[in-house]
Structure 1
Amino acid sequence: MTTLDWIILIGTLLTIVGYGTYKTRGSKNVQDYIRGGNQAQWWTIGLSVMATQASAITFLSTPGQAFNDGMGFVQFYFGLPIAMIIICMVFIPLYHKLKVYTAYEFLENRFDLKTRSLTAGLFLIQRGLAAGITIYAPAIILSAVLGWSLNQLNIIIGILVIIYTVSGGTKAVSVTQKHQMAVIFTGMFIAFFLILSYLPENINFTNALEIAAANNKMNILDFSFNLENRYTFWSGIIGGTFLMLSYFGTDQSQVQRYLSGKSLKEMQLGLIFNGILKVPMQFFILLVGVMVFVFYQFNEAPIHFNPHAKTVVASSSFAEEFNTLEAEHHKLFNQKKEILNAYTNAPSSDLKAEITALNTAEKSNRNEAKIVLEKAANEQLVKIETNDKDYVFIHFILNNLPRGLIGLLLAVILSAAMSSTASELNALASTTTIDLYKRSISPNQTELHYVKATKWFTFGWGILAICIACVAYLADNLIQLVNIIGSVFYGNVLGIFLLAFFFKRVQANAVFIGALITQAIVILGWYQDWMPYLWLNLFGCILVIVIASVLQLFNPKNYENTNS
């Protein structure tokens, strides 16, 4: 990192924070603070919705996911456009008609207070955990790569977000997210074209795609029904649709983004804009990861991308074993480079088979290195992340981009972390204030009182998110961890809303008990790995509908009394 990188990084972040704080200061009522005065236009809503979902995890983990496993992860998003259409037709008109501040207000109108409180509580649990992860994700990686203190990074990111989110509420989040998305798109496009320019002169984009395809990185569609495959066309279309329905239709961090719209039409256009742009955006980010893979076919990559892990093994009794694996890694790279040059000049099935065999051997060698790293960590009594997917892209940035652009790409990662975390804190505070504090603890207070309460809850959730970030531990892949947390809760929550929309005979007690039973079963199913996590969304949704409907059959008087 040069002085220029630091200037660009710090200047970008402080400008965004300062601008958001200045433009949205002084909200005096709940309408302005929580719903942004209902002034947002469709493009602001669309970018804000996109920025809320596209956290730093997206820009760190997704390229690493493609580097290791190829483009198949894009299937995860195939259900998103379908979900956007359903939400625009069913969810948004109801929310707009009732003029709700949170999605969970609707549930009290349809069922009762305890069902509203339970659903709001489920949201607070899963989104509170996710807020800590969205801070922790960039912090742990930047800490390992740059040598900064992990806890200091957690605190810096958290405090920057708290400043403008507390100050301006929903409007501050939306205003800053437009600029953050501009920084993000600019940085990713620059990175993509720089990667292509770094490839050998005889390798154009078409050749690069051929090399990626020769290594099975361009297998986008998997139509198998094998539940062992985590990402398939069917899991994306079916499981993904239910996940996106729940996330965009019932998760307050997203609902609050479009409830700030000027009109029903603006809200709907904002979500349609997101539905049209989101899949191509994720495809492009994955493609960046694939191009990083191609780059490292001609430029030697480390055997392991986590620098902290290599430091640990160097001071252990396994150092020599690790060095032997590195030497083998170097040998395989040189062999592969020769064959790749021949393949690009005259592609053939025989050369493709040799490339595939060498990459398989290289992958096996990397896996052996991970085992050695785990042994070294156990010997040293330290914890290290041996799965290095999340370190691939940041390693490329720091070691290959020119001065100034490193600062810009780091600003991309931190801007994404800030934008997503700000939405989460804003939604957590709004839900706490409207669904719990105002409704059940301290009703009949002034508007200014609830604005101040929301600010304090924002601050409190921000501190809690920082604390979670400081004690978190990396999972197999960060973007998967966030989606797993969501999938454990989202299906149940979506089922409750679908019961409210379409099952008029099912009443509050049946839904409440059914939701409790369903959540326990889904958690058990996730813990015992009954199915890939995407299918938990469909499973939880159907389960709560079935259980609540059966319970209602045993208590038909409840329906008769409520309709007499």
Structure 2
Amino acid sequence: MHWIDWTVLLLFLAYTIWDGTRQGREAHNIEGYLLAGRGMPWWAAGLSVMATQASAITFIGTTGLAYVEDMRFVQVYLAVPFAMVLICMFLVPYFHKVKAFTAYETLEERFGLKTRLTTSGLFLISRGLALGAVIAAPSYVLSLLLGLPLAGTILIIGLIATIYTMFGGVAAVIQTDVKQMAVMMFGLIFCFGLIIFNLPEEVSFGDAVYLAGSLDKLTALDLNFDLSEKYNVWSGVFAALFLMLSYFGTDQTQVQRYLTTPDVKQARKSLLMSAYAKVPMQFFILLLGVMLYVFFIFQPAPISFRATEPIAETEQQILQEQQIAAEYQQAYDLRQEAALALSSDRSPAAQQKFVEADQVMNDARNRDLALQAEIRQADVNDTNYIFPYFILQYVPIGLVGLIVAGIFAAAMSSIDSELNALTTVSIIDWYKRLKGDGKSEEHYLKSSRTVTFMWGMIATFSALVLGETRSIIELINQIGSYFYGSILGVFVLMLWVKKANGTGALAGLLSGMLAVFTFDRIFYNEALMDYTFILPWQGVSAGYDKAIEFLWLNPVGAVTVVLVGYLVSIAIPKDQ
């Protein structure tokens, strides 16, 4: 990057630290530190909810996913409005009525301490695992963007987020999230405009949309019912409903945002902001990835967006690589000619020629990626590098630094929220509950800051040892789907199953986790029409794929918890 961009980035990071740490001056007790004295305006809490979920995962991963595939990922968010309405109707009034600090402390009165600790413990495990990935994934990309060592990038992101969260508490989290959200959205909107502005004069925005549609890049809805398909309308509306209900209704990272508001009305408004804005925002980000694909039809596109040097090649591999590169360039030129022709003549023949040229080019690209993976004996997928490559190559000096700052902001807006939520659950559900209320407010305030620092260091260390993933966005949802459905099931038992008791809830929770693990390990071979159960440490045979994709694990977990919890509660009444 240019020195001007470095200056912009460093000023942004310095401002983030200063702005975050100063927010904690008014926190004199743990309610002020963990819940901002329950005085946050609804719009700030709502923007924080959106920023927490957006993160670098959305900034980098979703655009790359749309570039490589299409827009079907938007189906995951179709359930968000329905989930928000249900949460506003039932959970928000309940949490505010009991003046809860965490979602899980409400479970103790109904189901006892064991259920509370088990559920909150699952949250700590799931979020602790995900947090390392949230730091590591963008760090891999940013380290290449900035030319910094990977460890250095991880430490910058992890330490800055830890410092201002530790000193500023939830007020720092929300206030910095609001500003970080503004930087993120500016970067995305600017890049979208830049892409459209740099299309050839003879290619209008309508032409660009038509070209993308010809390649099925605009496919957003899939009506086929298939449990083994990641994204379709059925998984988006039904399976993802369980994911979103649990994420926004029982995950402390989200619950804590609207617990900071003064009353039920403002809490509901903060959630409804996401209900109205989340799907359009996600659609826009996916459309940005699709327009990026069209942009690189007319601008030079590398065969791989991830610049890497081979560590070992045979003469045969070198020749093979040169041949693929030549085929790629020839196909790229033919595709560009076909795209220009299709823009002026939207005939079926011109469209077919364009589609075929695109297929030939992508075949060459995929063969090159496979060859590089064979040479390095490692995954060389470049999905998460496409948007950063565009930023470095085409965004003007000065704005590069601001948009890279947006990627940092995106990463930190998720990290700070999760650190604060992990701290709240650790202190309220574990330390304070098990040690008793005999300690002073000052003691718990100091303990909260210490625990925040501890979680920050654990997350940063785990990021240092994590490997890179194919898709950041999918990894987080896959981790969450192992836990979310079962945790949601416990809250369903608490609110709507009158006969449920602590023994049933705990048995249901454990059964739900076991059911999720079991269904996740079922594989299917379509050619052989054979189902098989494969343990994690066993190799997956060629031709076998997951029989049930990760979104469906959420209803599996929730339904199992409710059924087992109800049956065990009837079989073992509370007084026994």
Q: Give TM class, smaller chain.
A: over 0.9
Q: Name the SS for the 2:374 alignment partner.
A: helix
Q: Which residue of 2 aligns with 1:148?
A: 148
Distance across 1 between alignment mates of 2:98 and 2:184? 35
Q: Which residue of 2 aligns with 1:455?
A: 449
TM-score normalized with structure 1 length: 0.96
Q: Which residue of 1 aligns with 2:57?
A: 57
For structure 1, the 5+ residue unaligned runs are none
TM-score normalized with structure 2 length: 0.94
Distance across 2 between alignment mates of 1:136 and 1:193? 29
Counterpart contact for 1:519–1:540, Cα < 8 Å = yes
Q: Which moved more, 1:462-471 or 1:444-453?
A: 444-453
Q: 1:178 to 1:114 in 2, by over 3 A?
A: same
Following superposition, the deviation at residue 362 of structure 1 comes to 2.0
Counterpart contact for 2:227–2:547, Cα < 8 Å = no
Question: 1:433-479 CA distances to partner (integer Å, 9 max, x unpaired)?
Answer: 00011111454211111111111111010001001110111222110
Distance across 1 between alignment mates of 2:312 and 2:387? 22
Query: Is residue 121 of structure 1 aligned with residue 121 of structure 2?
Result: yes
Identity percentage over the alignment?
Answer: 40
Letter in 2 for 1:186: F
Q: Which moved more, 1:526-535 or 1:394-403?
A: 526-535
Distance across 1 between alignment mates of 2:65 and 2:249? 27
Q: Which residue of 2 aligns with 1:373?
A: 372
Letter in 2 for 1:419: S
Q: Which residue of 2 aligns with 1:404?
A: 398
Equivalent residue in structure 2 for 1:533, among 539, 546, 550? 550
Distance across 2 between alignment mates of 1:223 and 1:169? 44
| Superposition pairs of residues 261-410 of structure 1, within 5 angstroms | 261-308=261-308, 310-312=309-311, 318-378=317-377, 383=378, 385-410=379-404
Distance across 2 between alignment mates of 1:320 and 1:167? 57
Following superposition, the deviation at residue 344 of structure 1 comes to 0.2
Q: Which residue of 2 aligns with 1:544?
A: 561
Distance across 1 between alignment mates of 2:402 and 2:517? 40
Following superposition, the deviation at residue 38 of structure 1 comes to 0.9
Query: Is residue 239 of structure 1 aligned with residue 239 of structure 2?
Result: yes
Counterpart contact for 1:313–1:319, Cα < 8 Å = no
Q: Which residue of 1 aligns with 2:76?
A: 76
Q: Which residue of 1 aligns with 2:209?
A: 209
Counterpart contact for 1:24–1:167, Cα < 8 Å = yes
Q: Name the SS for the 1:55 alignment partner.
A: helix
Following superposition, the deviation at residue 8 of structure 1 comes to 1.1
Q: Which residue of 1 aligns with 2:248?
A: 248
Counterpart contact for 2:184–2:409, Cα < 8 Å = yes
Distance across 1 between alignment mates of 2:479 and 2:73? 18
Counterpart contact for 1:437–1:443, Cα < 8 Å = no
Q: Name the SS for the 1:275 alignment partner.
A: helix
Q: Which residue of 2 aligns with 1:466?
A: 460
Question: 1:510-531 CA distances to partner (integer Å, 9 max, x unpaired)?
Answer: 1102211221221232234341
Letter in 2 for 1:95: F
Letter in 1 for 2:380: T
Q: Which residue of 2 aligns with 1:15?
A: 15
Counterpart contact for 2:71–2:220, Cα < 8 Å = yes
Q: 1:414 to 1:314 in 2, by over 3 A?
A: farther
Letter in 1 for 2:550: Y
Following superposition, the deviation at residue 236 of structure 1 comes to 0.7
Following superposition, the deviation at residue 312 of structure 1 comes to 3.9
Distance across 2 between alignment mates of 1:412 and 1:354? 39
Q: Which moved more, 1:111-120 or 1:21-30?
A: 21-30
Letter in 2 for 1:218: L
Query: Is residue 482 of structure 1 aligned with residue 476 of structure 2?
Result: yes
Letter in 2 for 1:541: A
Q: Name the SS for the 2:483 alignment partner.
A: helix
Distance across 1 between alignment mates of 2:548 and 2:368? 29
Counterpart contact for 1:111–1:508, Cα < 8 Å = yes
Counterpart contact for 2:31–2:37, Cα < 8 Å = yes
Distance across 1 between alignment mates of 2:410 and 2:518? 33
Q: Name the SS for the 2:261 alignment partner.
A: coil
Counterpart contact for 2:24–2:33, Cα < 8 Å = no
Following superposition, the deviation at residue 400 of structure 1 comes to 1.2
Counterpart contact for 1:313–1:322, Cα < 8 Å = no
Following superposition, the deviation at residue 311 of structure 1 comes to 4.2
Counterpart contact for 1:145–1:306, Cα < 8 Å = no
Q: Name the SS for the 2:224 alignment partner.
A: coil
Distance across 2 between alignment mates of 1:14 and 1:392? 28
User: How many aligned residue pairs are there?
Assistant: 553
Q: Name the SS for the 2:486 alignment partner.
A: helix
Bigger share in helix: 1
Q: 1:145 to 1:3 in 2, by over 3 A?
A: closer
Letter in 2 for 1:329: Y
Counterpart contact for 1:491–1:536, Cα < 8 Å = yes
Question: 1:174-217 CA distances to partner (integer Å, 9 max, x unpaired)?
Answer: 01111111111111111110011111011111111001001110
Q: Name the SS for the 2:226 alignment partner.
A: coil
Letter in 1 for 2:469: A
Distance across 2 between alignment mates of 1:435 and 1:527? 32
Distance across 1 between alignment mates of 2:251 and 2:315? 46
Distance across 1 between alignment mates of 2:314 and 2:403? 32
Following superposition, the deviation at residue 316 of structure 1 comes to 8.5
Distance across 2 between alignment mates of 1:315 and 1:283? 44
Distance across 1 between alignment mates of 2:273 and 2:255? 15
Counterpart contact for 1:514–1:548, Cα < 8 Å = yes
Query: Is residue 505 of structure 1 aligned with residue 499 of structure 2?
Result: yes
Q: Which residue of 2 aligns with 1:517?
A: 511
Q: Which moved more, 1:92-101 or 1:229-238?
A: 229-238
Q: Which residue of 2 aligns with 1:27?
A: 27
Counterpart contact for 2:71–2:217, Cα < 8 Å = yes
Q: How big is the alpha-carbon RMSD for the aligned residues of Structure 1 and Structure 2? A: 1.5
Q: Name the SS for the 2:25 alignment partner.
A: coil
Letter in 2 for 1:514: G
Equivalent residue in structure 1 for 2:408, among 414, 419, 424? 414
Following superposition, the deviation at residue 314 of structure 1 comes to 6.8
Letter in 2 for 1:503: V
Q: 1:324 to 1:313 in 2, by over 3 A?
A: farther
